Chain A
């Protein structure tokens, strides 16, 4: 939950106003769902209404939060990573939400940025990471650096290209970026559609041989990267596994199966396999 208010006050409120508590609130330990909320007549107690609306407010803010690219660039620079900044053809958030097609294409100013980098570097990169705001820049700001810190030391001999920060970006924008930089593989780190209890969920999309026109079936997705979901450590491990598999297969997507072991307990990862990234 984004926010849980203390329940004692709610109980006290209810006694005064005639709220009926639900005598099965012990079931709440089995699910994050909003059960045993109690009722005022047939309606929600005030506290439950406010909790819900607070979660919605946080999710809405996450959608409209503007990526702090300067801070991200600085932090990446401090780690010794070269950084480029690009934007999609969807100039603002309203356009981005209405026109997914524009979010999948670079704007006119961005292509020369990538062309110049490529002209100045002899070797084509094995891997380019695209840091995309997607539907939650918050997710990128919170989890991109920890993920990169986990991932990069394990890359070994692989040539890592520049970090590309992309605004108003959808997953497929990585195809054009990867192609212009001549990258063998591209991984798009992107803010997923915020849920009420997950305003900052990061998705990772791997595409082998990126070029415009690749379909979603040609990508592999790792979803729900955040402390309450899939940890950065586990996500980096699975991503490395998939990148290696794609290099061996010469392709990513449905042909490449993710048979990394399930986490302890054998339960599927929340949100796993149901990409809710901004495609």
Chain B
């Protein structure tokens, strides 16, 4: 059943829920490329007005991708928590926005609500929210996870240390890793994107970081961001696998293009848990996502890229991840054209993920063919910091020399912690103080000559 709205003499019709959601979204190049975007600003607003009056129940009755055809839809509907939903079951999308913004809807209430909200509901309400709404509600959400340290506590901001090297050279990786640790980064994870899919090379990198971590007793976790099947093989080969990484999408077909399904993710999670390497908790999945991945894989099925992105979070939610990272500007300008679109998408992703109960971080980033620059990244970094993002990336000088894109730097993370008074994960903070890297206020110290990491640097 379709929808329609009149604005003055103009009448707009929306064929189904998919079309309504797509046309209600803020302008972005990916939806235009897919032929799903609103044809005029008035049509966009007409769609939003219809959406605002839509009862939330409708999302349980009409799937944007058919239940029979898609295991992500089945996951969403089969795991929907009716009792959590009861609190909002009589609301429309517009009323949900107001409910979320109300002072009475506090951290505990949002936590209780999470399992009653489907990705489509979250996407829908985000389309009616301004940037400040996305920030305010996300800031009320608290999602705490743990493996070897505790992430997501109030007043904390963690950093993934990303010491990539163009040829996976061990000394090159170690050099960037030392650089990041000396800037107080690495509490979220020390995570390397490998240049090759070669299994012995991946195992060697896992061993390198694990040897380093144990030798210097760094309370963090490591990850080599390779395909889940490689991580499984590494586990079989006895390698020290802390976290299992995988890129995920919001439809079965997208995940197929990534070479995965839910069963494979379950297998990998069980295999990594069987190693019992977590000391503080057993959240050990690390997922990356990004708007546009479904369109890029010709698997969007007529659904807009933001709604599909939130559906990917439903996949993540099923695996109690330690970290979920929206790699927001990596995909390129045909999906997110400029700084404005990237900033908006970053705030949407963070809000929707947190609303669903996920430990959201963001790779605040752009490519050189997008209309964006460092100022745009500063803006998004600051906005997400205010919104309480769990973690951001730390790349030396913001320049990833292996993946050829710009992310956030160790300096950027230090800036955000300084300007917002944020601290790192408590276990990691204690280690930084013990190691003479930071003082008890979190201020970076000039390294003393005998500082252990400095000695390692001298002997590398």
What is A's interface to B at a CB cutoff of 8 Å? Answer: 20, 22-24, 26-28, 30-37, 39, 41-44, 48, 52-53, 55-56, 59-60, 62-63, 97-101, 135, 193-198, 267-274, 276
Contact = CB atoms under 8 A, between A and B. Distances in A.
Contacts, number: 155
9 contacts: A31-B176, A35-B397, A37-B397, A42-B444, A44-B409, A59-B368, A97-B337, A98-B333, A273-B196
B454 A24 contact: yes
B169 interface: yes
A24 B411 contact: no
Interface string B441-452: 000101100000
B373 A56 contact: yes
Among all A-B residue pairs, the 10 with the closest Cβ atoms: A34-B397, A195-B404, A42-B414, A27-B175, A31-B172, A270-B166, A59-B368, A35-B179, A24-B457, A33-B396
A97 B333 contact: yes
Interface residues of B, number: 57
Given A24-B179, A196-B406, A56 B368 contact: yes
A23 B454 contact: yes
Interface string B185-209: 0000000000111100100000000
A23 B368 contact: no
Nearest to B173: A31
B195 A272 contact: yes
Contacts of A270: 166-167, 195, 402
Given A31-B175, A196-B368, A268-B196, A42 B397 contact: no
A260 to B, nearest CB: 15
A59 B401 CA distance: 14
B404 A193 contact: yes
Contact of A39 (B32, B176, B368, B411): B411
Interface in B409-433: 409, 411, 414-415, 417-418
B171 A30 contact: yes
A98 B332 CA distance: 9
A48 B172 CA distance: 20
Contact of B374 (A30, A53, A273): A53
Given A24-B454, A193-B404, A60 B368 contact: yes
B369 A97 contact: yes
A60 B368 CA distance: 6
Nearest to B456: A24
Which of A34, A55, A62 has most chain B Cβ within 10 Å?
A: A34
